[in-house]
Each structure stands twice: as C-alpha cells, then as structure tokens.
C-alpha cells in the first residue's frame, strides 16, 4: 500500500475504522499495519506536534445513539469469553485477538494514536445480562509510552449514565501479571486475573475473566467490572472501549 506525501492522521485513522466496521479482518489488518507504520516513522524521528486539528475531523455527535460506533476505533471488546485476557506485558503491548470478536488493540498503538494523532475522546459502552446498556464518555484520553508504563496520563470531562468509574485510575500505570506497577501491596493484575491501570486496586476493570450471568463473581470481585454500574460483584455481558479524534 502506497504512502501519501501529506500526513493526515485523523483521515487515515478513519480508514482503519471503516475496515473494522465492515468486519473485514484482512482489510482491517492491512489498514492497521499501514497506519501503524506511519506512527512508527513519527516515533523514530521523535515528532511531538499534533496534526492540524481541522484535518479529517469527524462531525457527528459522540453518543447518540450509544451503540452506534461510526467513526470510532474500537480498542477493546468483550462479548463471549472466547479470548483470554489474562496475558503478559508483551501481549498487551502488541495487542491480541480478532477485530471480528474479542480483542485488545495494543498499548503501543494506543499510545501512538492518542499522542501523535491529536486529542482523542473515549467512549465506553457496557451491557449487562438484563440487556440494559449504559455508557461513559470522556472528552480526552491520553496514554503514555512504555517508559511511562503506558500510564493513563489524561482523562477528560465525563458524561454518561454508567458512572465515572475510570476517574480513580488517572495517572495510574498499566499492570499485567508479570509487571506489577500498581500501588497495592499485592499485584492487582495477578489477584484479579486481568490487566489494567490498577491503583489499589480498581473502580473499573474491563479485562477480567468473562463470567456468565449464572456464575456469581464472588467475594474476590473477579470479572468485567464497572463498579458504578451494578457494583463490585457484577460482571458485564458486553463491553467496548472506543476512541476517535475530538472535533
């Protein structure tokens, strides 16, 4: 695939999103690889400036209706337990899963997109086993680099009806089973069988074990948890985290 002389990250990111929405795995991988190579070029040369904020701007409202993800890049999806999210640092750095099912886009890509692709907004959609859907929207989302342990550096203003369960995790570093970066005396990732921006330990944790409605989470709070929606012992049926350039 040919590179263009003029870099327009927001527009090119939308090409990746379109491929993702078409559920064309080969096209998505090709477009993702193309975009990622361009970000790698920026990372190599250390460019710090964001692209023109008026280029490739998406104009439609971020949350109406909630489950429309047009022009949103899905970075995490949980829906059926088909993918194991209890993984190590390298796997979370690189990403895993299939864009047609459960997956995580990868911390290095998430850092590059939110750092060099301009200011990004975050939308989290949660669905319980009673088919009730809620959302949490943040008007800014920024993830640090690996030296910063992919920390959650910025989280903008919240709106929505799921509750602001991510706020506690601002400035927290990312932790996995083999990289304990939280401030608790135990490894939260190991304790709760996932990976997240743990503190001591969480108000939200979207990479925990997938637990069916008939299976109780139990005292240990393991599961796909958003505490302000059903509390600490209810595991979600469906979750998507999505980002896009803020207009």
CATH number at residue 170: 3.90.215.10
Which of 124, 165, 117 has the alpha carbon at shortest distance from 143? 117
Residues of the chain where predicted confidence (pLDDT) is lower than 70: 1-70, 214-220
All residues at 6 or more sequence positions from 16 whose CB lies less than 8 Å from its CB, including other chains = 28, 31, 32, 35, 73
Check residue 16 and give its pLDDT: 62
Q: How far apart are CA 27 and CA 38, in angstroms?
A: 17
User: Any idea which residue has 């850092």 for tokens?
Assistant: 111
Ordered alpha helix ranges (H), the chain: 9-21, 25-45, 89-94, 107-116, 188-192
- What's the pTM value of the predicted model, to 2 decimals? 0.76
Check residue 58 and give its pLDDT: 29
All residues at 6 or more sequence positions from 181 whose CB lies less than 8 Å from its CB, including other chains = 149, 172, 173, 174, 175, 198
Check residue 118 and give its pLDDT: 85
All residues at 6 or more sequence positions from 209 whose CB lies less than 8 Å from its CB, including other chains = 81, 85, 86, 193, 194, 222, 223, 224, 235
What's the structural domain count of the chain? 2
Check residue 34 and give its pLDDT: 54
Residue 54 is assigned to a structural domain of this protein? no
Q: Are residues 28 and 117 in the same domain?
A: no
Q: Are residues 197 and 88 in the same domain?
A: yes
Q: Are residues 33 and 77 in the same domain?
A: no
Q: How far apart are CA 26 and CA 100, in angstroms?
A: 11
Check residue 222 and give its pLDDT: 84
Q: Are residues 13 and 89 in the same domain?
A: no
Residue 119 is assigned to a structural domain of this protein? yes
Check residue 221 and give its pLDDT: 73
Query: What is the domain range of residue 40?
Result: 9-44
Check residue 56 and give its pLDDT: 28
Q: How far apart are CA 182 and CA 63, in angstroms?
A: 32
Check residue 3 and give its pLDDT: 27
Check residue 44 and give its pLDDT: 44
Residue 85 is assigned to a structural domain of this protein? yes
Q: Are residues 173 and 211 in the same domain?
A: yes
Strand partners, 121: 244
Q: Are residues 140 and 207 in the same domain?
A: yes
Residue 123 is assigned to a structural domain of this protein? yes
Check residue 35 and give its pLDDT: 57
């Amino acid at each position: 695939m040919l590179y263009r002389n003029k870099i327009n990250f927001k527009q090119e990111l939308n090409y990746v999103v379109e491929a993702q929405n078409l559920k064309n795995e080969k096209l998505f991988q090709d477009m993702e690889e193309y975009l990622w190579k361009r970000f790698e070029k920026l990372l190599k040369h250390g460019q710090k400036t964001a692209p023109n904020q008026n280029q490739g701007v998406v104009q439609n409202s971020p949350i109406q209706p909630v489950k429309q993800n047009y022009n949103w890049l899905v970075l995490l999806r949980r829906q059926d337990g088909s993918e194991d999210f209890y993984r190590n640092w390298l796997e979370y750095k690189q990403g895993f899963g299939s864009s047609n099912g459960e997956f995580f886009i990868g911390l290095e890509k998430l850092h590059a997109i939110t750092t060099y692709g301009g200011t990004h907004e975050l939308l989290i959609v949660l669905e319980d086993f009673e088919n009730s859907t809620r959302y949490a929207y943040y008007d800014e989302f920024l993830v640090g680099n690996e030296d910063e342990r992919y920390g959650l550096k910025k989280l903008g203003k919240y709106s929505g009806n799921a509750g602001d369960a991510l706020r506690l995790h601002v400035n927290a570093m990312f932790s996995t089973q083999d990289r304990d970066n939280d401030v608790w005396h135990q490894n939260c990732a190991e304790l709760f069988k996932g990976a997240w921006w743990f503190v001591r330990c969480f108000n939200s944790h979207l990479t925990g074990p997938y637990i069916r409605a008939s299976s109780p989470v139990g005292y240990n709070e393991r599961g796909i948890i958003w505490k302000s929606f059903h509390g600490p012992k209810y595991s979600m049926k469906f979750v998507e985290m999505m980002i896009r350039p803020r207009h």
